[in-house]
């Protein structure tokens, strides 16, 4: 999905919600456990209940890889079930030397080879240019670079002082030389609200993937106040706050209700900023 198509979907659906598909088998409702693939069944019902309220889905690969071959099958089947009008993001946070990154890129972008052709992947910038460019060889695919994460541990490295700033700012400045805002997004945690104005100085046009609202306590209002652009420029993710809204038979309706609350707040923010 291109940048203009993404913006079109945001305006059409009046939302910039990304739903995180992080299915922990210990937490999914017990009544689904008789299905051949309970995780897939869980994801399908969440997707069916929310697809008009979001513009992106983000399976986190850890929740699938942890289950070995069965998890990989759930991930491929979930990928195949994702609606075509939503951006598909694999949250894999990969980063390695060039020839290894080539293999990761093939795993998540080359549908013919692996069964998965996600639109976007999260990548760690720590190993630099040659670890990121293999993903950019895939025309039309997005690379989402970890810039300032929502985690408390972001202080350990991301705020280290550099000449004239902090490491996370240097990451954005350097990565901007690798690709344009049509191909590059940055992860910025919703818990870092005081940094959004500053980040917009370095990344005025890039979409920001923003995890950390809901379960991690970040404020959607603040993210919009300091981070929204004329094209919206935000994909705000919620995972546990939506998918585990209930663990009963009504889990999909409860997920829809939580997603609807966020969509309505997002619509108000889009109107306030005159994006729509």
38 vs 214, which CB is nearer to ligand LLZGTKA7? Answer: 214
Smallest distance from the beta carbon of 196 to ligand LLZGTKA7, in angstroms?
A: 14
Among 29, 38, 71, 212, which residue interacts with ligand LLZGTKA7 (rule: CB under 6 A)?
Answer: 212
131 vs 150, which CB is nearer to ligand LLZGTKA7? Answer: 150
Distance from C-alpha of 216 to C-alpha of 240, rounded to nearest angstrom: 9
51 as an active site residue: the answer is no
Cα 85 off chain centre by: 15
DSSP letter (8 states) at residue 168? H
Distance from C-alpha of 206 to C-alpha of 65, rounded to nearest angstrom: 30
Smallest distance from the beta carbon of 244 to ligand LLZGTKA7, in angstroms?
A: 8
Distance from C-alpha of 220 to C-alpha of 79, rounded to nearest angstrom: 27
Reduce the DSSP state of residue 55 to 3 states and report it: coil
Binding mask 27-66 for ligand LLZGTKA7 (x = CB under 6 A): ---------------------------------x------
Q: Which residues pair with 58 in a beta bridge?
A: 20
Is residue 241 within the footprint of ligand LLZGTKA7 (CB under 6 A)?
yes
Smallest distance from the beta carbon of 137 to ligand LLZGTKA7, in angstroms?
A: 24
- Which span sits near ligand LLZGTKA7 by CB under 6 A: 111-119, 158-166, 236-244, 254-262? 236-244
Is residue 239 within the footprint of ligand LLZGTKA7 (CB under 6 A)?
yes
Q: Which residues contact 181 (CB under 8 A, 6 or more apart)?
A: 3, 203, 205, 206, 207
Among 3, 14, 174, 240, which residue interacts with ligand LLZGTKA7 (rule: CB under 6 A)?
Answer: 240
Q: Is 182 left (phi over 0), alpha (psi -120 to 50) or beta?
A: alpha
Helix (H) or strand (E) holding 94: strand 87-94
Count CB neighbours of 237 within 10 A: 29
Instruction: Tell me which residues touch ligand LLZGTKA7 (CB under 6 A).
Output: 20, 22, 60, 91, 149-151, 187, 189, 211-212, 214-216, 237-241
- Residue numbers annotated as active site: 93
């Amino acid at each position: 999905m291109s940048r203009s198509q993404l913006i079109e979907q945001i305006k059409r659906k009046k939302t910039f919600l990304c739903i995180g598909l992080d299915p922990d088998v210990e937490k999914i409702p017990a009544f689904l456990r008789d299905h051949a693939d309970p995780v897939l069944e869980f994801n399908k019902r969440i997707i069916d209940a929310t697809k008009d309220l979001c513009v992106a889905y983000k399976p986190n690969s850890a929740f699938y890889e942890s289950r070995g071959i069965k998890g990989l099958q759930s991930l491929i089947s979930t990928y195949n079930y994702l609606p075509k009008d939503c951006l598909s993001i694999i949250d894999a946070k990969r980063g390695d030397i060039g020839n290894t990154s080539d293999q990761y890129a093939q795993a998540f972008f080359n549908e013919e080879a692996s069964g998965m052709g996600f639109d976007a992947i999260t990548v760690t910038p720590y190993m630099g240019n040659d670890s990121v460019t293999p993903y950019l060889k895939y025309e039309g695919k997005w690379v989402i670079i970890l810039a300032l994460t929502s985690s408390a541990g972001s202080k350990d490295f991301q705020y280290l002082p550099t000449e004239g700033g902090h490491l996370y700012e240097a990451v954005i400045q350097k990565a901007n030389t690798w690709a344009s805002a049509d191909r590059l997004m940055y992860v910025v945690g919703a818990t870092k609200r005081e940094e959004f104005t500053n980040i917009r100085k370095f990344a005025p046009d890039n979409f920001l993937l923003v995890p950390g609202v809901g379960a991690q306590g970040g404020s959607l209002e603040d993210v919009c106040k300091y981070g929204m652009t004329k094209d919206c420029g935000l994909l705000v993710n919620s995972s546990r706050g939506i998918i585990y809204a209930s663990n009963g038979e009504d889990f999909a309706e409860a997920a829809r209700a939580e997603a609807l609350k966020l969509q309505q707040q997002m619509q108000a923010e889009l109107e306030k900023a005159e994006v729509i």
